[in-house]
Amino acid sequence: MRQDSTRLFGGVAAAVLIAGVAGFGLAKMTAGKPETPPAAEAEPQHKEGEADAVAMTAEAIKASGILVEPVSVGGFTGEILAQGTVNASPSGQAVLTARAAGAVTRIYKRLGDPVRAGEALAVVESRDAAQIAADRTVASARAGLAQKSLARERRLYEQRVSARQDYEQAQAEAAAANAEARRAQVAAGAANVTADGRGVVVASPISGRVTAASVSLGAFVQPETELFRVADPRLIQVEASVSGVDVPRIAPGDRAVVETADGRPIEGRVRSITPGLSQETRMATAVLDVSPIGLQPGQSVRARIIRRAVAASTLIVVPDDAIQNVEGRDVVFVRTAKGFEARSVTVGQRSAGRAEIVSGLKPGQAIVARGAFLLKAELGKGEGEEH
């Protein structure tokens, strides 16, 4: 029994000794390695470049309604603001009337219908048309008879049967008859008399659409009565009202930007400007040639005329909506190959919804003129995800 106790005590002592040695070795190994400090939290810092970039494809830009336009140089001294109206050009609108008094017996076109040049819109049956047709027939018959008489007198004169005086008389009568026939033919063509001679055709001289129709079937109309109005939507112009002070500053050929109600800019040029002021408004009218896309006659627009002969200025003018505040700084979004980049700018004076950029932009750069707040929101979303 005593021998077993001695063996048990010896085994426990050996186990304690082995554990001690192992613990000492582990402590020795651990002490040889320096303690790794916890990772320090990175403090956010603003950097121009990728941190301010918003990637966006051309399809996404179009779908979101973001408007990109090039910046203009010259400051407020280089721009003249004017209110204008879209009107049909002189060759883009036609007022149609009956060429003779009578009753409307046919109506082929209604309000809004498309019309081709020379196409009939209505027919007016008229006694005047019958008279014009009759005059044409009589004049044509007389011209034919005069030609036959002239041919007969020529043969007699060549055979020395009749005198030269008779031949010359026949020549004069034939010339007069031909002239009368041409007059009657032109009169019938001007009145646009129908083939049966009972009426006149109301036809459009231009292609376009019917913008006004004040005619009723069976109504008796006079030659000066307006029946239809046709306009070609492709042939328009903008008439902008300019103050007398600005008239000497504008010249034909100056660049113009027409802005619609939704802020969309349309490029144009100054075609002409009236030399005098209107007695009613005391304003001159600048006629602008513009693209017809998105414009309709009667539409009110705002025009910005950019003078070519301006004092040297490096100031750039942008819409107020283009300037956004990001982290306490004014930025505009510049178009890049991959999307947009928020560029810090220094803003000068503001006027009439536009602002001068003192620094931060260069001429020729394209910026977001409308919808910049969407990019600001997208930029803020990206920063939130990074944090």
Phi and psi dihedrals of 361, rounded to 5? -125, 160
* Higher-confidence position of 202 and 195: 202
Cβ–Cβ < 8 Å for 79, 72: yes
| Contacts (Cβ under 8 Å, ≥6 apart) of 133 | 188, 193, 197
Look at the block and give the residue holding tokens 């890049």.
336
Model confidence, pTM = 0.57
Cβ–Cβ < 8 Å for 259, 290: no
pLDDT tens digits, one per residue of 215-266: 899 999 998 889 999 999 889 999 999 988 888 888 899 889 898 877 778 8
List the Cα angle 114/116/119 in 5-degree steps: 110
Cβ neighbour number for residue 29 with a 10 Å cutoff:
9
Cβ–Cβ < 8 Å for 88, 232: yes
The band of 152, judged by pLDDT with boundaries at 50, 70 and 90, is very high
Residue 316 pLDDT greater than 50, yes or no: yes
Q: Which regions of 47-151 does DSSP assign to beta strands (E)?
A: 53-55, 67-70, 72-73, 79-88, 93-97, 102-107, 114-115, 120-125
pLDDT tens digits, one per residue of 333-370: 999 988 898 888 888 877 667 788 888 888 778 888 88
| Contacts (Cβ under 8 Å, ≥6 apart) of 175 | none
Report which of 248, 241, 240, 257 is spatially closest to residue 79, judged by C-alpha positions. 257
What is the pLDDT averaged over residues 120-140?
Answer: 92
The band of 75, judged by pLDDT with boundaries at 50, 70 and 90, is low
Cβ–Cβ < 8 Å for 260, 296: no
Q: Residue 270 is encoded by which pair of tokens?
A: 């100054």
What is the pLDDT averaged over residues 61-79?
Answer: 76
Phi and psi dihedrals of 80, rounded to 5? -120, 120
Give the C-alpha separation, 169 to 166, whole Å: 5
**Neighbouring-strand partners of residue 73:** 316
CA dihedral 180, 181, 187, 190 (to 10 degrees): -140
Kindly state the percentage of the chain with pLDDT values over 90. Answer: 37
Strands 283-290 and 226-231: unpaired
Q: Which domains does the chain have, with CATH numbers?
A: 50-75+313-386 (2.40.420.20), 76-91+233-306 (2.40.30.170), 96-231 (2.40.50.100)
| CA atoms 268, 270, 272, 277: torsion sign | positive
Residue 201 pLDDT greater than 90, yes or no: yes
| CA Rg value for the chain | 44
Report which of 244, 249, 241, 238 is spatially closest to residue 76, judged by C-alpha positions. 249
Query: Strand, coil or helix: what is 15?
Result: helix
Q: Residue 44 is encoded by which pair of tokens?
A: 């956010």
Give the C-alpha separation, 322 to 4, whole Å: 96
- Based on the number of CB atoms within 10 Å of its own CB, is 162 exposed (0-12), middle (13-18) or buried (19 or more)? middle
Query: Strand, coil or helix: what is 54?
Result: strand
Look at the block and give the residue holding tokens 């050009």.
89
Cβ neighbour number for residue 367 with a 10 Å cutoff:
24
The band of 38, judged by pLDDT with boundaries at 50, 70 and 90, is very low
Q: In residues, how long is the chain?
A: 387
Residue 69 pLDDT greater than 90, yes or no: no
Give the C-alpha separation, 333 to 323, whole Å: 8
Please name the amino acid found at residue 227: L
Strands 120-125 and 102-107: antiparallel
| CA atoms 337, 340, 341, 347: torsion sign | positive
Cβ neighbour number for residue 231 with a 10 Å cutoff:
22
Question: For the ranges 113-127, 178-192, 319-333, 339-353, which has the lowest average pLDDT?
Answer: 339-353
pLDDT at 288: 95
Look at the block and give the residue holding tokens 């980049």.
341
Query: Strand, coil or helix: what is 346?
Result: strand
Average pLDDT over the chain, rounded to an integer: 81
pLDDT at 186: 92
Question: For the ranges 149-163, 234-248, 285-299, 310-324, which has the lowest average pLDDT?
Answer: 310-324
Q: Residue 375 is encoded by which pair of tokens?
A: 């990019």
Kindly state the percentage of the chain with pLDDT values over 70. Answer: 81
pLDDT at 3: 44
pLDDT tens digits, one per residue of 99-118: 889 999 999 999 999 999 99
